[in-house]
Structure 1
């Protein structure tokens, strides 16, 4: 087989650049460990119109296509992959509707969005089962996290109140101990937590998607006690069956960036690892052959477990990670 070329649109500028750049750096570290493979990365500027305009050219230049970062952009990329009869390896769009949107054309390595809050809710139900206020951010990501959280909370016997992005926390009668779950964009979660802490009765327990990344510690004056929910965190995965192990990757990433990565970098590396493994064992990287290879695969990478629904491409094996911020930093639970 000739050298494989792996291509990806990533947000190197625009509103998703914080994590798109991490994904690029993660892939560059991975490529340095796999120099026989070619890597092409183009900037989508966090703009689906730019993604649409350049998708065909990138697809023509690549054997394997990795998706962009964000559910919104992945929704566009998945539709384009189906239109051009290509397979897209999804590492950046966890929305339930996206993961199951194009069977045969989209394979996801991410835990679906509706399951994001599951570890936090189980922890809350067993340690501090107080009423839960769920604050939903703008966009489908926040709605799907909140929908799944609400359903899981009720199954665990937790009572809930649901607020939208325009609702005021102060309007809710929280005179008794309560818990807060923020499901929005990074900046939305930070603002919600700051506001909640200023209330006459602040939340006893706080969980947030934003708290699952290292930058949370700089964005909030005192992050101690806050629970973070994410797809991955350092120290949470055992030695993998495929690809780089976590210590090797973290060392190489820190050497380049000066800091540890967040989960966008690691999930991009996992997608590239799985995609190239499937291409190698089939020796025939057609869409159909790659799909079947992935559907038959059950393995682990530095990101965690991989197993998809063979009919939809939705991720079944990977589980989200729960951390708690302490005075020394975030600690996995």
Structure 2
């Protein structure tokens, strides 16, 4: 009888240990304009959840915590983001937050995160401006927008020192405008004449008038874009109207595998990428780039884009901070994030601790990809920086 009672207590104790969870809240654009990118990001986050739970959970202060995700569809709408993040914190009682996809939505979520003093890891959000407001609880995974296209300009100058005229055409959204403005300023300092600097509404589907302006400007190269839907349409129409450009580099869209569906319209189009499966980072923590890629391919049947990698990286960063803090206490985890300086499969991660830029990503750097054709198939190649390239840059593309 005594043995039976002891066995019951042991089973009960094990049950309590197994029941311990850490809950992470976020919103996802299951519908709306950010659907493709946001679902990719969620796939990466869910893969991290499966990976860490498959190892028994996160070891925090001698205890194991299984990861539970709580998320809602924000419909790509800023108003819903604020409502839902308030709900995640006040009603669902989540322990930590991961941002929605896009800088615009993340800016709204950051207000709520800061209001409640809840740590949020921001992935899929590159705008610098979010991190210029004195927030203490928001930490950026991506390379900031101010450095998004600077390496593209460096690549163009190296490819053609004689090229002078370029066009910067961008989606009039928080993220894309910030990137484009920084690219324009950097290009001018590099000696380029920015002959066209123009935004277009996010809902644009007919780029004919803008393409006519590009042609009339005499620009030899185009940089800009915004998100997937507009970028893919823009690239297709540039090809159909045979815009005489030696190089096209667009944000977001060309970095997605789906971009290959454009066929010849994708050929030669370049993009800055936060991460690619071919990178050779040696991580201090978590899986290697190859291991992550193989896990993702097994789970989803396709090669991961950088949004998925950013989602997984956000989970790793939270996991490592909890482990280093030895606690789920928000202040202790925040201090661990402030002190973080490590390399993941995604690249280097280090956050600014300056009061005027707290949480801004300092460590991570971009790579440049370009769509090329090999054996009749469209493939992405890394073409910059030179010490990381997997193929030479196709230049000019026309």
Which secondary structure state, in structure 1, belongs to the residue aligned with residue 68 of structure 2? strand
Does the alignment pair 1:318 with 2:353?
A: no
Assess if the C-alpha contact under 8 Å between 2:281 and 2:346 holds in 1.
no
Cα distance in 1 for partners of 2:292, 2:27 equals: 22
Which secondary structure state, in structure 1, belongs to the residue aligned with residue 25 of structure 2? strand
Cα distance change of structure 1 residues 108 and 252 upon mapping to structure 2, 3 Å threshold: same
Cα distance in 2 for partners of 1:290, 1:217 equals: 41
Q: CA deviation at 1:120?
A: 1.1
Q: Which of 78-87 and 127-136 deviates more?
A: 127-136
Alignment length (residue pairs): 333
Tell me which of 178, 185, 191 is aligned to 2:227. 185
Assess if the C-alpha contact under 8 Å between 1:176 and 1:201 holds in 2.
no
Q: Larger Cα Rg: Structure 1 or Structure 2? A: 2
Counterpart of 1:21 in structure 2 is 39
Q: CA deviation at 1:101?
A: 3.1
**Which digits, 9 at most, give the CA deviation of each residue in 1:215-253, with x for residues without a partner?**
111135432221121211111241211112222221121
Q: CA deviation at 1:277?
A: 0.8
1:139-288 to 2 correspondences below 5 Å = 139-161=173-195, 162-165=197-200, 168-172=210-214, 174=216, 178-199=220-241, 202-209=244-251, 210-288=253-331
Q: TM-score under structure 2 normalisation?
A: 0.78
Counterpart of 2:382 in structure 1 is 332
Q: TM-score under structure 1 normalisation?
A: 0.93
Cα distance in 2 for partners of 1:7, 1:244 equals: 23
Cα distance in 2 for partners of 1:72, 1:163 equals: 19
Cα distance in 1 for partners of 2:334, 2:123 equals: 16
Counterpart of 2:160 in structure 1 is 128
Cα distance in 1 for partners of 2:41, 2:219 equals: 39
Cα distance in 2 for partners of 1:171, 1:8 equals: 41
Which secondary structure state, in structure 2, belongs to the residue aligned with residue 268 of structure 1? helix
Counterpart of 2:51 in structure 1 is 33
Q: CA deviation at 1:257?
A: 1.4
Counterpart of 1:293 in structure 2 is 336
Assess if the C-alpha contact under 8 Å between 2:26 and 2:85 holds in 1.
no
Cα distance in 2 for partners of 1:205, 1:75 equals: 32
Counterpart of 2:205 in structure 1 is none
Which secondary structure state, in structure 1, belongs to the residue aligned with residue 200 of structure 2? coil
RMSD of the TM alignment (CA)?
2.1
Cα distance change of structure 1 residues 270 and 172 upon mapping to structure 2, 3 Å threshold: closer
Gaps of 5+ in 2: 1-16, 58-65, 202-208, 384-398
Assess if the C-alpha contact under 8 Å between 1:136 and 1:165 holds in 2.
yes
**Which digits, 9 at most, give the CA deviation of each residue in 1:272-324, with x for residues without a partner?**
11111111111223332222211111111111110111121100110112011
Cα distance in 1 for partners of 2:242, 2:308 equals: 39
1:44-83 to 2 correspondences below 5 Å = 44-59=74-89, 60-83=92-115
Assess if the C-alpha contact under 8 Å between 2:284 and 2:343 holds in 1.
yes
Cα distance change of structure 1 residues 275 and 200 upon mapping to structure 2, 3 Å threshold: closer
Q: CA deviation at 1:189?
A: 2.2
Cα distance in 1 for partners of 2:319, 2:286 equals: 10
Q: Which of 79-88 and 245-254 deviates more?
A: 245-254
**Which digits, 9 at most, give the CA deviation of each residue in 1:54-78, with x for residues without a partner?**
3233225322211111111101110
Q: CA deviation at 1:176?
A: 5.5
Q: CA deviation at 1:194?
A: 3.3
Cα distance in 1 for partners of 2:118, 2:327 equals: 14
